[in-house]
Amino acid sequence: MTEPKLDFSGRTALVTGAGSGIGAAVARWLDAHGIAALHLVDINAHGIEALALTCEVHAHVHDVSDPQFWGGFERAAGKLDHAVVNAGIGSGGQIAEQSFKDWRRVMAVNLDGAFLTLAAAIRLMRANGRGSAVVTSSITAVKPVAGIGAYGVAKAGVAHMARIAAAENAALGIRVNAVAPGGVDTAIWDAGEAFREAVAAHGREAAIAGMGASHPRGRFATADEIACDIGYLLSDMAANVTGVVLNTDGGYSL
């Protein structure tokens, strides 16, 4: 019997939100596992440039919530084997206190953007006759954490979108899964008001460590740890896994 491998040679992947945090770690992970070409999408050009990858890189400095971008991408991308639907922004505030403007801002990137990305990727994979995608949801989709308003709702939406897309495409040889990370030490936290106050009072390392204390392992995950989870789900090692939302949260949801 031939063992399936974590080997991506000859393959092309799309990663959104690749300029920072989890997306950047996934791009590095795929590069280290032999990927031939990467389409990296982010509004942050510097983050993509800083990656220093060895594979063929196509940098797309675009907003994932722009349908026109995805129309052009689909026409030009060619063969696509894998997609990581990952770009996202944070939000604060309780449901009763969140402005409609902020609600729409979060939905535009985290839900509409994920829909546009996944839909375009699946159409390209259908033309390719196979493929796999992973969507970055969040443990806040599973566990109702107070005070994150639109974010948790959007993340529940993308988790279910992955399950529906899995059901629609399993017979076509295309797998779709989601990861639901707990806290991960990335720049997404830096925009939050409460976090900024904690950083001003105690420094960033202590602020991250303070929040990590609420997780059973006593710390947040690293972006590299989440990249391993995503890499496994993308790979042929997970050939029999589709429609799963994997709680990559160090036990936070238990």
Which residues are known catalytic residues? 151
Q: How many CB atoms lie within 10 A of CB 94?
A: 10
Question: Residue 40: which of 56, 57, 21, 22 has the closest Cα?
Answer: 57
Task: Name the burial class of residue 64, with classes exposed (0-12), middle (13-18) and buried (19+) by CB atoms within 10 angstroms of its CB.
Answer: buried
Among positions 14, 15, 77, 87, the unique one binding ligand NAD when judged by CB under 6 A? 87
The reply on whether position 157 binds ligand NAD by CB under 6 A is: no
Beta strands, E only, the chain: 12-16, 37-42, 56-61, 82-85, 131-136, 174-179, 245-246
CB of 60 to ligand NAD, least distance (A): 9
User: Residue 59, SS3?
Assistant: strand
Helix 113-128 × helix 149-169 angle, to 10°: 20
CB closer to ligand NAD, 138 vs 242: 138
Among positions 11, 21, 153, 176, the unique one binding ligand NAD when judged by CB under 6 A? 21
Among positions 22, 77, 116, 244, the unique one binding ligand NAD when judged by CB under 6 A? 22
Helix (H) or strand (E) holding 160: helix 149-169
Question: Is the sign of the CA dihedral 35, 40, 45, 46 positive or negative?
Answer: negative
Among positions 12, 20, 169, 247, the unique one binding ligand NAD when judged by CB under 6 A? 20
Identity (one letter) of the amino acid at 149?
Answer: G
The secondary structure of residue 177, as a DSSP letter, is: E
The interface with ligand NAD within residues 37-56 (CB under 6 A) comprises: 41-44, 47
Lookup: tokens for 27: 């791009």
Q: Name the one range near ligand NAD by CB under 6 A: 63-71, 72-80, 122-130, 163-171.
A: 63-71
Size of site (CB under 6 A) for ligand NAD: 30
The reply on whether position 64 binds ligand NAD by CB under 6 A is: yes
Q: Name the one range near ligand NAD by CB under 6 A: 17-25, 168-176, 195-203, 234-242.
A: 17-25
Question: Residue 163: which of 148, 149, 175 has the closest Cα?
Answer: 175
The interface with ligand NAD within residues 92-151 (CB under 6 A) comprises: 109, 113, 136, 138
92 vs 171: CA distance, rounded Å: 40
Site string for ligand NAD, 214-253 (x = CB under 6 A): ---------x------------------------------
**Interface residue list for ligand NAD (CB under 6 A):** 16-17, 19-23, 41-44, 47, 63-65, 86-89, 109, 113, 136, 138, 181, 183-184, 186-188, 223
